[in-house]
Amino acid sequence: MSLWVIQRDLLLAIRRRADVLTTLFFFIIVVSLFPLGVGPEINILRTMAPGVVWVAALLASMLSLGRMFSSDYLDGTLEQMLLSPQSLAMLVLGKALAHWLVTGVPLVLMSPVLGIQYDLSADALLVLTASLLLGTPVLSLIGAIGAALTLGLRGGGVLVSLLVLPLYIPVLIFGAGAVEASAAGLGAGAHLSLLGAFLLASLVLAPWATAVSLRISME
């Protein structure tokens, strides 16, 4: 059932290709801004790289959260989804994964290229990409809760970030920490497994919470 939603959302996303690219370009610009701000000194950049890339990924995925439900909310398809016999949680899971495919995956593919900008070593790049691959779906899933809660509110965009950022912090800590641990030779196994745990937990809990929030917002 959620496959249908994913397929539909991907179709919609491809038609409005601009939305996909804006998030990606935002990510690239933010990541490239930091060296300009901090200075070209390579050692500083290398230690800063994981944090910068992760924070940029966080902000990029959060920017596009607003659009996750708003288009369906405005033209009424969201109400149909609520009324449909299918379980709302599965539908929401589909929407969140579609959002991840549209915003998360391009970031993951882009991060090695940007990592080179920060002169990261090969295995650090590998760990960075792996951590982003594990982390970005969690961002979309938790973000779905925020998007559902602030549906149709004025100033919703800012509000979503206020609601959701504190919840992103564990993912940020272990995402950036994974790269740093592997760079320090400690091995990123622990961090990546924790990110995996977050992923599984949010896969189970977030859709249900988003479904509850959607019902509340759509009353």
Partner 1 sequence: MAINWFKYSSPASFYFLAGKMIPLFSIAATILFAAGLYIGFFVAPTDFQQGEAYRIIFIHVPAAWMSMFLYVMMAIWAGIGLAFNTRLSSMMATAIAPTGAMFTFLALWTGALWGKPMWGTWWVWDARLTSELILLFLYIGFMSLQAAIDDPRRADKAGAVIALVGVVNIPIIYFSVKWWNTLHQGATVSVTQSPKMATTMLTGMLIMSIACWMYAIAVILIRTRTIILERERHTAWVGELRGVAQ
200 is a contact residue toward partner 1 (CB under 8 A): no
- The encoded tokens of residue 32 equal 């490239």
Q: Which stretch binds partner 1 (CB under 8 A): 6-14, 30-38, 52-60, 207-215?
A: 207-215
Cα-based distances in Å from 114 to 108, 136, 140, 200: 10, 16, 21, 28
162 is a contact residue toward partner 1 (CB under 8 A): yes
Looking at the Cβ atoms of 102 and 151, the one nearer to partner 1 is: 151
Looking at the Cβ atoms of 24 and 99, the one nearer to partner 1 is: 99
Residues in region 101-160 near partner 1 by CB under 8 A: 145, 149-150, 153-156, 159
Contacts of 156 (CB under 8 A, 6+ apart): 66, 150
Q: How far apart are CA 82 and CA 73, in angstroms?
A: 11
213 is a contact residue toward partner 1 (CB under 8 A): yes
Name the site residues for partner 1 (rule: CB under 8 A).
Answer: 145, 149-150, 153-156, 159, 162-163, 165-167, 169-170, 173-174, 177, 180-181, 194, 205, 209, 212-213, 216-217, 219
